[in-house]
Amino acid sequence: MNTSINKSNKPKLTKKGQETRTRIIVAAAELMYEQGVAGTTIEDVQQKAKVSASQLYHYFKEKKELVMAVISYQSSRIIGNHSRYLTDLDSFEALYAWRNFIVDIQIKKNCEGGCPLGALASELVETDTEARSEINSSFLEWEDSIRNGLRFMLNREELNSNADPDKLALALLTALQGGLLLTQVRRDPGPIITALDTMLEHIKSFSKDK
């Protein structure tokens, strides 16, 4: 006899409330990206977002809930940015444009920070089941986006039928993650460049006209 149809029992947010909530998430995301989740205190977030403790706990019942919001924020940012390059990949040039997008970000950031999702993944995967599950979904979505791009190339016969978009998409994503980690540790774009270029070269071996 649940009279409440609403699944969530969250209080409604006013426009102002939404803005404050978003401000908190963005501040938390930046800080956690720079210092890690454990290295970011609620007080840090308060200061950066210019909110009081009661505000923060009004919108998020505990730190873990804020972390979950940060995960979904970072996920949608990444998926959004990358899908601009990955949707309807119509040529190898388009694939290389995606590569350049990734590499350029690293260079612009002096190779600091790594992948926002990868960093969260590594820190939380073994200690927070819920976080792992969310991050896993995000990676799957990301992989899917790459796979669809490759499938598009295959359908356009840029790639021959020996190319397996499932395997190649997953391999590309792993190369990307590993490349970003090494680039971050080395403070040199070399690893992400080599990782992506090697995979792209491999994909090129499935060119139709070869």
- Say which entry of a copy of itself, DNA, none residue 93 contacts (CB below 5 to 8 A, set by partner kind): none
Among residues 1, 9, 16, 161, the one that binds DNA under rule CB under 7 A? 16
Per-residue x/- mask for DNA, residues 64 to 83, rule CB under 7 A? x-------------------
Could you tell me how many residues of this chain bind DNA (CB under 7 A)? 24
> Is residue 170 a contact residue for DNA (CB under 7 A)?
no
Measured between alpha carbons, how far is 56 from 45 in angstroms, rounded to an integer?
9
Give least dist CB 116 to a copy of itself, A: 12
In the stretch 33-52, what mask flags binding to DNA with x, by CB under 7 A? -------xxxx-------xx
Amino acid identity for residue 123 in this structure: E
Q: Does residue 41 interact with a copy of itself by CB under 8 A?
A: no
Among residues 201, 93, 98, 193, which one has the least CA distance to residue 146? Answer: 98
| Contact flag: residue 207 with a copy of itself (CB under 8 A) | no
Q: Which does 182 bind (CB under 5 to 8 A by kind): a copy of itself, DNA, none?
A: a copy of itself
Neighbouring-strand partners of residue 207: 159
List 119, 150, 154, 159, residue binding a copy of itself (CB under 8 A): 119
Q: Footprint of a copy of itself on this chain (CB under 8 A)? A: 34-36, 38-39, 112-114, 118-119, 121-123, 125-127, 132, 135-136, 139-140, 167-168, 170-171, 173-179, 181-182, 184-187, 190-192, 194-195, 197-199, 201-202, 205
